[in-house]
Amino acid sequence: MKNKTAAKITNVQELEARLKQMRAAQEIYAGYSQEQVDQIFRAAAMAACKARIPLARMAVEETGMGVVEDKVIKNHYASEYIYNQYRDTPTCGVIEEDKAGGMRKVAEPIGLIAAVIPTTNPTSTAIFKALLCLKTRNGIMISPHPRAKNCTIEAARIVYNAAVEAGAPENIIGWIDEPSLELTNTVMKECDCILATGGPSMVRAAYSSGKPALGVGAGNTPAIIDSTADIRLAVNSVIHSKTFDNGMICASEQSVIVLSDVYDEVKAEFAARGCYFLKGKEVKKVGGAVIINGSVNAKIVGQSAYKIAQIAGVDVPEKTKILIGEVESTDISEPFAHEKLSPVLAMYRAKDFEDALQKAEALVMEGGPGHTASLFVNTAEKEKMDAHAERMRACRIVINMPSSQGAIGDLYNFRLAPSLTLGCGSWGGNSISHNVGVMDLLNVKTVAERRENMLWMRLPEKIYFKRGCMPVALDELGTVMHKKKCFIVTDSFLYQNGYVRPIEEKLDEMGIRHTCFYDVAPDPTLQCAQEGTRQMTDFGPDVIIALGGGSAMDAAKIMWVMYENPDVNFEDMAMDFMDIRKRIYTFPEMGKKAYFVAIPTSSGTGSEVTPFAIITDKETGTKWPLADYELMPDMAVVDADNMMNQPKSLTSASGIDVMTHAIESYVSIMASDMTEGISLQATKLVFDYLPSAYINGANDPQAREHMALASTLAGEAFANAFLGVNHSMAHKLGAYHHIPHGVANALLLTYVMRYNANPAPAKMGTFPQYAYPHTLERYCDIARYNGLVGKDDQKTFDLLIKKLEELKKTIGIPASIREWGVSEEDFLATLDEMTENAFNDQCTGANPRYPLMSEIRELYLMAYYGRDTKEAAAL
Amino acid sequence: MANRQIIEETSNKTVYKEGDRIVKEFKPSHPKSNVFNEAYIHACVEEAGVSVPHIISVAPSADGGWALAMEYVEGTTLQQMMDDAPDKKEEYIEKLVDIQTEVCTHKVPKLRNTRYKMEDVISGMTEIDATARYELLQRIHGMKRHTRLCHGDFVPSNVVIRGDGSYCILDWAHATSGNAGADAAITYMRFSLQDPELAELYLKTYCRKADMALQYVQSWLPIVAAAQLTKHVPGEKDLLEQWVSVAEYQ
């Protein structure tokens, strides 16, 4: 095969020149297809695999460490297992696609990788890293250790030649011929990412180079042999692992911690298999020879047990597999407690499993934080395995396997990825805690297309409407649902004026037992709801009927929540959300105990079809606005017969509230085809029937009925499309200055509309369906639906504003907040607080303009003084 | 000239007492820059407020070399005190560590950094092979960047205790700004070469009092041992080579 090697690199200039060539090569390689890359990856793996024996021999000869036959396995593993693991892994271009979700992941190479190679596993690590880089279209500059430079370079050369032969650009792999710290540091500074395998100093240097680094740390694996373990399997696994390449794998067992009751058996098995237990002074001699000033003696690294014994001046049989020192201390003052990089093992006696865990914990943290911990146990002992996994600060926990071969993956467990670079997490000062693989060497771009947010339409299971529908609806409770006990919630006015009687009569007729709670006051309190819940709990209903305006329905919803789920926390339930379907709090499931029927007696809130309720804690003054589809009534009964005798003020205030619901839900950023038609029809019904309902009351039952439906329709729309800043401001204006909710809405309505209609708002609302500011056009839809057509949009909009002003006047809404009777002094004193609270209101999020607080403040002032609404258009 | 009292004579200098001053007279072969450098370091430390003999002059000597004159400090060195009262070893080691940790609290940024000085020494040495140098340099490179005042040869013979109990530190030629762990490693090494038992006592006391991890001091030992090898002191080679020849955990 043609040798592709270029000029040697022995100094910084030569290195810089080569890095430049390599960058150019990598840029070309970055354009290769997956198919081309896979061919190169295969050819390179094949070549490395073929050269496994000469490379192993070279490594042992050059470094004077390890065992040829074991290094053959490492080279074989680094080529075959890595190829097998990643042969079908997509690493070029689109690697993942979700067409429906509009998301693609695109893999790009990182660029030039600096690879620092250790002396302990030189050829296998070089093969491993070079193959990973070829598969990911990266260039790789290899920095060998001076003690292993020839074999490392030879391994790199073999992979490189095969890659180029298979079509890779020349210079895609490079290496330093005469390693020095200066060159290593230069490579680390100039590359795009560092793959650092080696000792802590080198890994620290990599992390402090300023370039992203995948550095990995030292290990000090303790193996616990539990009383329930298969002793023969355990001991022979440890021997197999500890003797592998003379103990140079970083995950190799450094100590065994044996439970007292099997200690002798374990010891006998070790001895029978050719391990030597150091006696008396021999322990100290070997300890002193292996560890010098807390570091491992370079002369014993990767040597055989016999040779180490000789160095220590201890006589052992030549074929001794492992030297074992029985010691007690896990402190670093004990040489055997260290990583020994050789077939020398510490053995501890543990009095119980807890003692074993403590010893293992100490050993991991002293010498190999984050690396590997091993346990031999009967796998039926789930508790012990769980305790071990929980307590060890190790990123690989291996059970019943030789830890050297186990931790590198794919040999004794096939879900642990094969790798020769093992991350130790933050415990080991590393950026990664897994076995390094191809995904670590890619930049993955996520291509995300704009998608619309999912929406749904939520309504009560049944909405009965038309005059006289109430008895029919109630009939279903008995004849179809076979309900037994009914709890009625209403206010004292309705109760005393006989509104409850028809319901009770119908229930009696069907044999449904019933009771009535009629203490609900306007702005219902938590205390009232708690009392109702107490009575409800005593009574144990399977159906709840809420009869009344917003207050009674809200109070009944709250009682329902507390009756079904006595342990709920209002603070959690009232937590504001950006998207009701992504909220942190999961609302408790409702309906397990009782079916909820809402019967409105005024046409305004729409609460019979909305998932909202508001309750005030009398003691703290806190208002808890609750919103969740679990609060949606099961059945709504909209029977205008219940609404005929509403007082005028209520007709006016609740009627204009309906209009505000309809308009705000129509321009909301969450409005959709499902809600828009409903909103429009509601505006029309209000324009057409509110004046007569206000003026004629019960004398125009048709107007009453249309207003009842308008209220429910608007409720359906805003239950799904939500409201806007008009409501946010009205909530606070009403609360601070005791203005009925509907009136507060009306006082602000035309200002907010002018404000929202601005085609170039300071900020628009955030929602994928909301493409650009278009609120003026939306208002014009409403105008045209109501027969108002100007010569352009602005004129059409003006006509709508004018018609609204006329409607307000007709139904007796004052011209300004001041006119309503709020003193200037009081208003200004509360203005800033009101502004901030209105901004923070749950309704603000759906407004088509994302309001600035200064804008809200200005709107309040305009509405207070009754200034020309056109001023709001300039905001 | 008559009342010169010679204290020490080495291959490159003669130290004598003359009246109330101590004079270090260097041979003409000793580089002028070394003499001025020693005076500079000494002056920096003096300015930082550490108790040291005051520098009086750097002047040419009669034979063409340079002489460094400083104030003579009345008192007894800790070494003498330890020799005189071997049973009080522990007490004196405690004292030594107390003074060393106190000195290390000073910052003298004008001095050379310990890491760079060690890098230069190791890079230039021929006593060990390139691979060993590579590993030591990598070890130095991985050390944290500290800026504490390190004496560089903090041994009992360099600590004078005056009659009133106050102390004064001598011989600042090797001082650097850097890692206290390296300073402790040098002291430990100097003890180990003389009296291993005392060395262990020192290290234990130091780590306890300075609240420093034993491993951290130990991690400097191969480096300071290599630097010491360059001095070719008879009888030190075996131990130092053993200390240098260690591998890092992997």
Q: What is the pLDDT of residue A2?
A: 44
Same domain, B115 and B19: no
In chain A, count of helices (H) and strands (E)?
33, 25
**Is A30 buried (19+), middle (13-18) or exposed (0-12) by CB count in 10 A?**
middle
Q: What is the pLDDT of residue A604?
A: 86
Domain limits at B40?
Answer: 4-71
Cα–Cα distance measured from residue A781 to residue A815, given in angstroms and rounded to the nearest whole number: 26
Query: Buried b vs exposed e over A252-279: b needs ≥16 C-beta within 10 Å?
Result: bbbbbbbbeebbeebbebbeeeebbbbe
Cα–Cα distance measured from residue A551 to residue A521, given in angstroms and rounded to the nearest whole number: 7
User: Could you tell me the pTM of the whole model?
Assistant: 0.85
Kindly give the pairing relationship between strand A291-292 and strand B246-247: unpaired
- Three-state SS string over A465-533 comes to ECCCCHHHHHHHHHHCCCCCEEEEECCHHHHHCCCCHHHHHHHHHHCCEEEEECCCCCCCEHHHHHHHH
Same domain, B16 and B135: no
Q: What is the pLDDT of residue A774?
A: 96
Cα–Cα distance measured from residue B22 to residue A187, given in angstroms and rounded to the nearest whole number: 51
Cα–Cα distance measured from residue A414 to residue A412, given in angstroms and rounded to the nearest whole number: 7
B37: in domain: yes
Interface touch A181/B137, C-beta < 8 Å = yes
Nearest-Cα distance to chain A for B222, in Å, is 9
Total tally of structural domains belonging to chain B: 2
How many CB pairs lie under 8 A apart between chains A and B? 97
The topology under which CATH files domain A16-215 is Aldehyde Dehydrogenase; Chain A, domain 1 (3.40.605)
Q: Which residues of B touch A333 (CB under 8 A)?
A: 214
Interface touch B138/A201, C-beta < 8 Å = yes
User: Is 0.95 exceeded by the ipTM?
Assistant: no
Query: Residue A294: which of B215, B247, B250 has the nearest Cβ?
Result: B215
Which two structure tokens, joined as six digits, stand for B166?
């106050």
Q: Which residues of A touch B247 (CB under 8 A)?
A: 119, 199, 295-298, 301, 341
Interface touch B221/A293, C-beta < 8 Å = yes
Give the residue from chain B lying closest to A342, CA to CA: B249
Mean pLDDT of all residues in A478-499: 95
The topology under which CATH files domain A460-643 is Rossmann fold (3.40.50)
Same domain, B104 and B119: yes
- Alpha carbon of residue A727 to chain centroid: 32
Same domain, B123 and B8: no
pLDDT band at A102 (very low <50, low <70, confident <90, very high): very high
Cα–Cα distance measured from residue A430 to residue A207, given in angstroms and rounded to the nearest whole number: 9
**In terms of residues, how long is chain B?**
250
Could you give the angle at which helices A741-756 and A648-667 cross, rounded to 10 degrees? 30
- In the listed set B48, B71, B94, which residue is the last one of a domain according to the structure? B71
Nearest-Cα distance to chain A for B141, in Å, is 6
Which two structure tokens, joined as six digits, stand for A19?
């890095």
The alpha-carbon radius of gyration of chain A (Å, integer) is: 40
Percent of chain A with pLDDT over 70: 99
A250 catalytic per annotation: yes
Same domain, B226 and B146: yes
Interface touch B247/A295, C-beta < 8 Å = yes
Nearest-Cα distance to chain B for A29, in Å, is 33
B65: in domain: yes
Ramachandran angles phi, psi of B178, nearest 5°: 175, -130
| Alpha helix positions (H), A382-480 | 382-391, 403-407, 470-479
Q: What is the pLDDT of residue A126?
A: 97
Q: What is the pLDDT of residue A6?
A: 67
B118: in domain: yes
Spatial CA neighbour of B108 closest among B15, B46, B34: B46
pLDDT-flagged residues of chain B (< 70): 1-2, 249-250
Q: What is the CATH number of the domain that holds B37?
A: 3.30.200.20
Give the residue from chain B lying closest to A197, CA to CA: B250
Give the residue from chain B lying closest to A247, CA to CA: B250
Same domain, B97 and B190: yes
Interface touch B247/A205, C-beta < 8 Å = no
Interface touch B247/A197, C-beta < 8 Å = no
Which two structure tokens, joined as six digits, stand for A151?
């074999």
The DSSP symbol for A402 reads -
Question: Is the predicted pLDDT of residue A5 greater than 70, yes or no?
Answer: no
Give the residue from chain B lying closest to A288, CA to CA: B242
Residues 6+ apart with CB under 8 A from A337: A220, A254, A255, A327, A329, A330, A331, A346, A363, A366, A367
B250: in domain: no
How wide is the angle at C-alpha B221 spanned by C-alphas A366 and A331, nearest 5°? 25
Give the residue from chain B lying closest to A338, CA to CA: B249
The model's pLDDT over A837-860, given as tens digits with 9 standing for 90+, comes to 999 998 999 999 999 999 999 999
Residues 6+ apart with CB under 8 A from A753: A663, A726, A779, A800, A801, A804, A869
Nearest-Cα distance to chain B for A248, in Å, is 8
Q: What is the pLDDT of residue B249?
A: 63
Amino acid identity at B164:
D
Q: Do B114 and B220 meet the contact criterion of CB atoms below 8 Å apart?
A: no
B40: in domain: yes
Interface touch A297/B245, C-beta < 8 Å = yes
Using DSSP, state whether A814 is helix, strand or coil: coil
Q: What is the CATH number of the domain that holds B193?
A: 3.90.1200.10
Cα–Cα distance measured from residue A508 to residue A524, given in angstroms and rounded to the nearest whole number: 29
Q: What is the pLDDT of residue A1?
A: 42
Same domain, B130 and B181: yes
B249: in domain: no
Same domain, B47 and B161: no
Same domain, B66 and B94: no
Cα–Cα distance measured from residue A839 to residue A844, given in angstroms and rounded to the nearest whole number: 6
Query: Residue A293: which of B134, B141, B243 has the nearest Cβ?
Result: B243
Residues 93-132 of A with CB under 8 A from B: 118-120
Question: Is the predicted pLDDT of residue A570 greater than 80, yes or no?
Answer: no
Interface touch A293/B222, C-beta < 8 Å = yes
Same domain, B185 and B66: no
Same domain, B23 and B140: no
B154: in domain: yes
CATH top class, domain A221-402: alpha beta
Query: Residue A181: which of B138, B214, B249 has the nearest Cβ?
Result: B138
Which residue out of A293, A303, A340 would a mutagenesis test of the B interface target, given it has the greatest number of B Cβ atoms within 10 Å? A293
Percent of chain A with pLDDT over 90: 87
Q: Do A21 and A121 meet the contact criterion of CB atoms below 8 Å apart?
A: no
B162: in domain: yes
- In the listed set B56, B71, B86, which residue is the last one of a domain according to the structure? B71
Nearest-Cα distance to chain A for B204, in Å, is 11
Query: Residue A199: which of B143, B214, B249 has the nearest Cβ?
Result: B249
Same domain, B163 and B230: yes
Nearest-Cα distance to chain A for B245, in Å, is 5
Interface touch A294/B141, C-beta < 8 Å = no
Interface touch B247/A367, C-beta < 8 Å = no
- In the listed set B40, B56, B71, which residue is the last one of a domain according to the structure? B71
**Is A775 buried (19+), middle (13-18) or exposed (0-12) by CB count in 10 A?**
buried
How wide is the angle at C-alpha A195 spanned by C-alphas B217 and A203, nearest 5°? 5
Which two structure tokens, joined as six digits, stand for A492?
């004292």
- Which superfamily is assigned to A648-875 in CATH? Dehydroquinate synthase-like - alpha domain (1.20.1090.10)
Give the residue from chain B lying closest to A217, CA to CA: B250
Catalytic residue selected from A133, A151, A250, A843: A250
Domain ranges of chain A: 16-215, 221-402, 460-643, 648-875
